[in-house]
Chains A and B, each alone.
Chain A
């Protein structure tokens, strides 16, 4: 299938292909040709595209078969997309809204801006923790698992911090974004520029959907994979 057809079919996939580094202007090239050109794993790319395209399609087993490095690389790229593109965009739109509104709704807009900036900090702290603590931890586990080598230290580390702790950290960040949307929809005095407000909301909804898909890959693919390796290491190397 040609890549252009894929995008015509579902334009929501645009940010996904850009996350894999594929630029527009691909002419008549097929998905396969582009994957070769960009040095991407075709199967992995297809599974990710499909799981974003179709909510009901989520080949958990198939995804778990891919190497951890590939999955984490993808998760990192989506982090980058959130932090350097999506969040700044919503931030900018919200600021525009508050500049335009001077009245009562303007005051509320400032609250919204403050709330969003708190959300932004929380999300980046969460992402930073994943990249600096969780992913290196996962690589350590995978190394030990692959080489079949380990020691008591690693077992102690697993007991101190296991992947299960990480899974429970997602919810609060999601709830905050939901609350923000809800308040804008239901309780904020209507802003002057209704169209701009709708644009902000739509961007937030897109971010929410994207984060949901992202978390789905983390919680249903990455976490079980790591849990399996943790268990194996504990069984074999408990001193």
Chain B
């Protein structure tokens, strides 16, 4: 399994170390990065990464508004956790998956972390295959591109039209292509069909 990236943005060294010690009690291999000041967070290279982004409310208050605004986008693919002893998440523009009260019992904090971490790991496994679409989906895609209707595709592959629709939904979700013309072009570029097959 790959490392799970963790960014801890907290002004206090003690709380950063405290969180790290809790994380180290868990079974996951972490790649932990500590951020002590907002300017260090700004300087963090832009990367599309999954993982855990933990920020304390005190840290967040120190951030200039422009940084706060960009946080949502910059760490969009990461699971965000707020450390705060008052549950006022709505004050912030950022959305959080979880709030951790620093004065909570360690087992409660660990339970919250475990929950988010297991979600991250399952999500990772889901998207692991490089191209994303399965062989069956490729077959469906080929026939969609050739201009067949859902019913005709179903008859050809001995599946119901309903199943064909499910496959098509998955293909669109995986490739991000919605229109038949777009799917056809994808199939042509990837040589799933040759030009003559397109009716």
- Report A's interface with B, CB cutoff 8 A: 108, 111-112, 115, 118, 172, 175-176, 178-180, 182-183, 186-189
User: Could you pull out 24 A-B pairs where Cβ atoms are within 8 angstroms?
Assistant: A111-B185, A111-B188, A111-B189, A112-B185, A115-B182, A115-B185, A118-B181, A172-B179, A176-B179, A176-B181, A178-B178, A179-B177, A179-B181, A179-B182, A179-B185, A180-B182, A180-B185, A182-B175, A183-B185, A183-B186, A183-B189, A186-B175, A187-B186, A188-B189
A112-B185, A178-B178, A179-B179 known; 9 new pairs, CB 8 Å cut-off, are: A118-B181, A175-B179, A175-B182, A176-B179, A179-B177, A179-B178, A182-B175, A183-B189, A186-B176
A118, A172, A175, A187: most-surrounded residue (chain B CB, <10 A): A187
The reply to whether the CB of B190 lies closer than 8 angstroms to some CB of chain A is: yes
Complex CA distance for A180 and B189, rounded to whole angstroms: 12
- Shortest distance from the beta carbon of B188 to any chain A beta carbon, whole Å: 5
Complex CA distance for A180 and B176, rounded to whole angstroms: 11
Contact A182 B189 (CB under 8 A): no
Complex CA distance for A172 and B186, rounded to whole angstroms: 17
- Shortest distance from the beta carbon of B179 to any chain A beta carbon, whole Å: 5
Q: Which residues of B contact A182 (CB under 8 A)?
A: 175-177, 182
Complex CA distance for A172 and B188, rounded to whole angstroms: 21
B: interface residue count bin = 10 to 19
Contact B179 A183 (CB under 8 A): no
- Report B's interface with A, CB cutoff 8 A: 175-179, 181-182, 185-186, 188-190
Contacting B182 at CB < 8 Å: which of A176, A188, A189? A176
A-B contact count, CB below 8 Å?
Answer: 43
Q: Which residues of A contact B176 (CB under 8 A)?
A: 182, 186
Complex CA distance for A118 and B175, rounded to whole angstroms: 21
Q: Which residues of B contact A176 (CB under 8 A)?
A: 179, 181-182
- Shortest distance from the beta carbon of B145 to any chain A beta carbon, whole Å: 12
Complex CA distance for A187 and B133, rounded to whole angstroms: 13
Complex CA distance for A176 and B188, rounded to whole angstroms: 16
Complex CA distance for A108 and B188, rounded to whole angstroms: 8
Complex CA distance for A118 and B181, rounded to whole angstroms: 9
Q: Which residues of B contact A118 (CB under 8 A)?
A: 181
Q: Which residues of A contact B177 (CB under 8 A)?
A: 179, 182-183
Closest residue of B by beta carbon distance from A180: B182
Question: Which A-B residue pairs are the 6 nearest by beta carbons?
Answer: A179-B182, A175-B178, A179-B177, A108-B189, A175-B179, A182-B176
- Shortest distance from the beta carbon of A101 to any chain B beta carbon, whole Å: 13
Q: Which residues of A contact B175 (CB under 8 A)?
A: 182, 186-187
Complex CA distance for A207 and B107, rounded to whole angstroms: 53
Complex CA distance for A188 and B175, rounded to whole angstroms: 13
Complex CA distance for A176 and B178, rounded to whole angstroms: 8
Complex CA distance for A180 and B183, rounded to whole angstroms: 10
Contacting A115 at CB < 8 Å: which of B178, B181, B190? B181
Complex CA distance for A118 and B182, rounded to whole angstroms: 11
Contacting B189 at CB < 8 Å: which of A172, A175, A187? A187
Q: Which residues of B contact A189 (CB under 8 A)?
A: 189
Q: Which residues of B contact A179 (CB under 8 A)?
A: 177-179, 181-182, 185
- Shortest distance from the beta carbon of A54 to any chain B beta carbon, whole Å: 14
Q: Which residues of A contact B178 (CB under 8 A)?
A: 175, 178-179
Q: Which residues of A contact B181 (CB under 8 A)?
A: 115, 118, 176, 179
Q: Which residues of B contact A172 (CB under 8 A)?
A: 179
